């Protein structure tokens, strides 16, 4: 909002309530109270996953000139997740100098 004040333009900033701020807009001191304001019910968590999926789909999949990058991200996440799950079994099969 611009205000005209004695011949000069001045910008007036309004504070946004903490509940409406996005994660990247929250300061470190406000982070614990911001996390406690989130909805941790099953419906709230499902809604968060749905919003994330919709955001991903509209940004990478549902575009006019699409590329393979959106599918590659899902594939990379799957490979990383699979590696993390099977790491306990894989670490015993390493080549070592001394057995």
- Residues 52-81 pLDDT 10s: 999 999 998 888 888 888 889 999 999 999
Query: How confident is the prediction for the chain on average, in pLDDT?
Result: 84
Helix (H/G/I), strand (E/B), else coil: 42: helix
Count, residues in the chain: 99
Residue 64, in any domain of the structure: no
Residue 71, in any domain of the structure: no
User: By residue range, what is the domain housing residue 13?
Assistant: 1-38
Q: What is the pTM of this model?
A: 0.60
Question: Which element (helix H / strand E) includes 83?
Answer: helix 69-85
Neighbour tally for 54: CB within 10 Å: 11
Number of independent structural domains in the chain: 1
Residue 29, in any domain of the structure: yes
Backbone angles phi, psi at 4, to 5 degrees: -95, 115
Give residue 87's pLDDT band: very low, low, confident or very high (50, 70, 90).
very high
């Amino acid at each position: 909002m611009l205000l005209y004040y004695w011949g000069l333009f001045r910008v007036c900033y309004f504070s946004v309530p903490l509940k409406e701020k996005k994660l990247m807009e929250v300061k470190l001191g406000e982070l614990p109270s911001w996390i406690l304001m989130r909805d941790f019910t099953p419906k709230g968590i499902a809604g968060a996953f749905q919003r994330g999926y919709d955001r991903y789909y509209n940004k990478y999949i549902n575009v006019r000139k699409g590329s393979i990058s959106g599918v590659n991200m899902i594939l990379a996440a799957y490979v990383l997740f699979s590696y993390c799950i099977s790491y306990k079994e894989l670490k015993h099969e390493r080549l070592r100098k001394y057995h």
